[in-house]
């Protein structure tokens, strides 16, 4: 288990005095920064039976506790993951390397966490350690805990037994109950700077790391995920339809339809997002003279933006936000694509008078 280079300082600060480690920690920050992997490393360190006696040392990776943890059989560890669902998709970007969710005793269930699972957690907390050491519960994504769960957790946190640690992971921590928040020490993850992230991506053998990172809004694990799926090529094809002398909405829609058909994993919502980012950059160029996602396409963007108005582009961006909500289940995909292309072409022409 390794940490990203930019997480080292956070780790060292947190583990500087292990005696003072709080019983409840919240790892908070945007998606795609490796918070869950950090939480897993922390759990491993707390459970490890032969970690070097230095303040910032990581788990040894060799003792029986470490081996059990990796194989998913550690009796003093629980990984609690509320159901997939609304937030599906975020998980794969977060997981990183480490303990596999299934192996780690993932609670596979129906809907939100059930009462018997809460009882199981209470038993885990109050019955005592199997290995005479610490016990760790890792909850991710914590904002998906239902109220019954949050209340059970609060009750435990009022008087946590010695050696019991809760690690909560959340990308939307403002949704957590204030009472839960107030009982946790927040450890806030920031994005690595662009150069560090780009260096890391290149170090993973990823080509066009800079372009990918920009498209992913700076989230390096998202960019790595996209590289693995070959998403950059698909993305470029989706953009080409917008960039090359766009005049005919039916022709643009036909190119998109062919792309959606050919590429598994690239569906309508992803296409709308791609178009949205493109229009966002057109508007930004027009209004502020900079772009956020497509520096590599700047010359084309400038040419296109020349004939458009800032307000027209912003209106188109807002339109796309609205239609993105129905992109999962359009009544008629072909009409949806033609409509989106027509909106884009109209926005491009708003600067002509
Ligand atoms: Zn160990």
In this predicted structure, the answer to whether residue 87 has a pLDDT above a threshold of 50 is no
Distance 166 CA to ligand 1 centre (A): 19
Q: Which residues contact 206 (CB under 8 A, 6 or more apart)?
A: 212, 223, 224, 227
89 pLDDT above the threshold of 80: no
- What pLDDT, on the 0 to 100 scale, is given for residue 6? 84
End-to-end Cα separation, the chain, in angstroms: 61
Q: Are 116 and 86 in contact (CB under 8 A)?
A: no
Q: Does position 80 have pLDDT exceeding 70, yes or no?
A: yes
CA of 44 to the centre of ligand 1 (A): 7
| Three-state DSSP state, 330 | coil
Q: Compute CA 188 distance to the chain's CA centroid, rounded to the nearest angstrom.
A: 15
Entry pTM? 0.70
Instruction: State in Å: Cα 132 to ligand 1 middle.
Output: 14
> How far does the centroid of ligand 1 lie from the alpha carbon of residue 62, in Å?
5
Residue in the block written with tokens 């019983």? 23
**Tokens read off for 64:** 């029986």
Question: What does the pLDDT read at residue 346?
Answer: 95
215 or 352, greater pLDDT: 215
Q: What is the mean pLDDT of residues 277-294?
A: 94
Q: How far is the CA of 53 from the centre of ligand 1 (A)?
A: 12
Supply the DSSP symbol for 114: P
Segment 172-181 shows an average pLDDT of: 90
Report how far ligand 1's centroid is from the alpha carbon of 201 (Å). 29
- Give the pLDDT confidence score for residue 106 in this predicted structure: 40
Helix axes 115-127 and 147-158, enclosed angle (nearest 10): 10
Q: What is the pLDDT of residues 333-347, one digit of tens each?
A: 999 999 999 999 999
Question: Mean per-residue pLDDT for 43-54?
Answer: 92
Q: Is the four-CA dihedral 25, 31, 34, 40 of positive or negative sign?
A: positive
**How far is the centre of ligand 1, averaged over its atoms, from the C-alpha of 150 (Å)?**
31
Q: Is the pLDDT of residue 128 over 90?
A: no
State phi, psi for 170 to the nearest 5 degrees: -150, 135
What pLDDT score was predicted for residue 104? 40
**Arithmetic mean of pLDDT, 17-43:** 90
Is residue 114 very low, low, confident or very high in pLDDT (cuts 50, 70, 90)? low
Helical segments of 249-297, H only: 249-262, 268-288
Ligand 1 centre to CA of 48 (Å) is 4
What are the tens digits of pLDDT across the range 147-172? 888 888 898 988 888 899 999 999 99
Q: Which residues contact 236 (CB under 8 A, 6 or more apart)?
A: none
Ligand 1 centroid from CA 123, angstroms: 25
**Judging by DSSP bridges, how do beta strands 77-80 and 185-188 pair with one another?**
unpaired
Question: What b/e string do you get for 2-14 counting C-beta neighbours within 10 Å, with b at 16 or more?
Answer: ebbebbeebbeeb
What is the per-residue pLDDT for 60?
A: 94
Model confidence at 53, pLDDT cuts 50, 70, 90, reads confident
Instruction: State the distance from the centre of ligand 1 to the C-alpha of 131, rounded, in angstroms.
Output: 13
What does R_g of the chain's alpha carbons equal in angstroms? 24
Q: What is the pLDDT of residues 194-251, one digit of tens each?
A: 899 999 999 999 999 999 999 988 888 889 999 999 999 999 999 999 998 778 999 9
Binned at pLDDT 50, 70 and 90, residue 112 comes out as low
What tokens were used for 213?
């990172």
Distance 120 CA to ligand 1 centre (A): 26
Sequence-distant (≥ 6) Cβ neighbours of residue 80 within 8 angstroms = 107, 113, 117, 121, 137, 138, 139, 140
The pLDDT score that the predictor gives to residue 338 is 96
How many Å lie between the centroid of ligand 1 and the Cα of residue 58?
Answer: 9
How far does the centroid of ligand 1 lie from the alpha carbon of residue 193, in Å? 32
How many angstroms separate the CA atoms of 162 and 235, rounded? 51
Adjacency order of strands within the sheet including 185-188: 77-80, 135-139, 164-170, 24-28, 185-188
Confidence bin at 85 (pLDDT 50/70/90): very low
Report whether pLDDT(137) > 80. yes
Q: How confident is the model at residue 97 (pLDDT cuts 50, 70, 90)?
A: very low
Ligand 1 geometric centre to CA of 165 (Å): 17
**What are the residues whose beta carbons fall under 8 Å from the beta carbon of 138, sequence distance 6 or more?**
36, 39, 40, 43, 77, 78, 79, 80, 167, 169
Lowest-confidence segment of 41-50, 151-160, 289-298 by average pLDDT: 151-160
248 vs 242: CA distance, rounded Å? 10
Tell me what pLDDT residue 113 has: 58
pLDDT(285) > 60: yes
CA distances from 97 to 63, 81, 129, 184, 272 (A): 19, 17, 26, 25, 31
Ligand 1 geometric centre to CA of 45 (Å): 7
């Amino acid at each position: 288990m390794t940490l990203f280079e930019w997480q080292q300082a956070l780790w060292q600060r947190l583990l500087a005095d292990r005696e003072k480690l709080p019983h409840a920690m919240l790892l908070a920050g945007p998606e795609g920064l490796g918070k869950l992997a950090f939480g897993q490393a922390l759990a491993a360190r707390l459970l490890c039976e032969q970690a070097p006696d230095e303040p910032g040392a990581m788990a040894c990776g060799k003792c029986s506790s470490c081996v059990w943890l990796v194989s998913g059989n550690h009796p003093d560890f629980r990984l609690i993951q509320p159901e997939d669902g609304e937030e599906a998709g975020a998980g794969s970007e977060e997981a990183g390397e480490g303990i596999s969710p299934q192996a780690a005793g993932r609670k596979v269930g129906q809907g939100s966490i059930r009462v018997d699972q809460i009882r199981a957690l209470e038993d885990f907390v109050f019955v005592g350690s199997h290995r005479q050491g610490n016990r760790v519960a890792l909850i991710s994504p914590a904002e998906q805990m239902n109220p019954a769960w949050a209340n059970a957790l609060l009750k435990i946190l009022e008087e946590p037994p010695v050696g019991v640690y809760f690690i909560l992971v959340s990308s939307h921590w403002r949704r957590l109950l204030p009472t839960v928040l107030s009982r946790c020490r927040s450890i806030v993850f920031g994005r690595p700077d662009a150069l560090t992230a780009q260096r890391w991506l290149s170090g993973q053998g990823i080509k066009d790391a800079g372009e990918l990172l920009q498209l992913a809004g700076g989230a390096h694990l998202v960019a790595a995920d996209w590289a693995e799926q070959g998403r950059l090529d698909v993305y470029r094809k989706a953009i080409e339809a917008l960039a090359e002398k766009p005049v005919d909405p039916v022709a643009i829609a036909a190119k998109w339809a062919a792309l959606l058909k050919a590429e598994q994993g690239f569906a309508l919502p992803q296409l709308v997002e791609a178009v949205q980012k493109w229009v966002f950059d057109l508007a930004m160029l027009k209004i502020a003279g900079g772009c956020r996602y497509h520096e590599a396409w700047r010359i084309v963007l400038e040419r296109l933006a020349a004939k458009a108005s800032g307000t027209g582009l912003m209106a188109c961006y807002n339109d796309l936000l609205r239609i993105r909500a129905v992109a999962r289940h359009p009544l008629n995909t072909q009409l949806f694509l033609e409509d989106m292309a027509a909106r884009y072409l109209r926005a491009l022409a708003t600067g002509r008078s």
